[in-house]
Amino acid sequence: MIINKILKFSSVGALGSVTNIAIFSALIFLDVNYNIASIVAFVFAVTQNYTLNKKWTFKDHNTQTKQKFVKYFILNLSSFMINLGVLNLFVMNFDDGNITKIIGQVLGIGVAMGFNFVGSYLVIFAKNREDVE
């Protein structure tokens, strides 16, 4: 059922968000540029989310992981651009303090989440939808 998929996807996304924010925050407090920190955090979180969504949310046991991961990465890269835009707009319109950067990152993740679910559901894991079977 789609509701189960949304709940699982949201749980994976929440864990990915925690991973993203933890890495982003650590790098920010180490004086890494916030755009670089956002990229590094994205790569870690998207890899984690792909693995969990593939195995748990969409129960995809297909062995073509590399091809599917590339599609998933491209989809998430698109949503990351949304995230990065929100982050930069937030920092430009307020201040460039560490807390402001972290809040901007959280808001960016939130805005991009819906785009990720729709793309994952309709494109990446389309053959693994319970509601179609």
Percent of the chain with pLDDT over 90: 54
Residues 105, 22: Cα–Cα separation, whole Å? 11
DSSP-derived 3-state class of residue 10:
helix
DSSP annotation of 125: T
Tell me the mean pLDDT in the region 36-49: 95
Reply yes or no on whether the pLDDT at 1 is more than 80: no
Is residue 108 within 8 A of residue 86, CB to CB? The reply is yes
Residue 62 has φ and ψ, to the nearest 5°, of -65, 140
The pLDDT assigned to 128 comes to: 55
Count of CB atoms within 10 A of residue 70's CB?
Answer: 10
Q: Considering only the C-alpha atoms of the chain, give the largest distance between any 2 of them, rounded to a whole number of Å.
A: 50
Is residue 40 within 8 A of residue 30, CB to CB? The reply is no
Tell me the mean pLDDT in the region 98-116: 90
Domain ranges of the chain: 2-128
* Mean of all residue pLDDT scores within the chain: 88
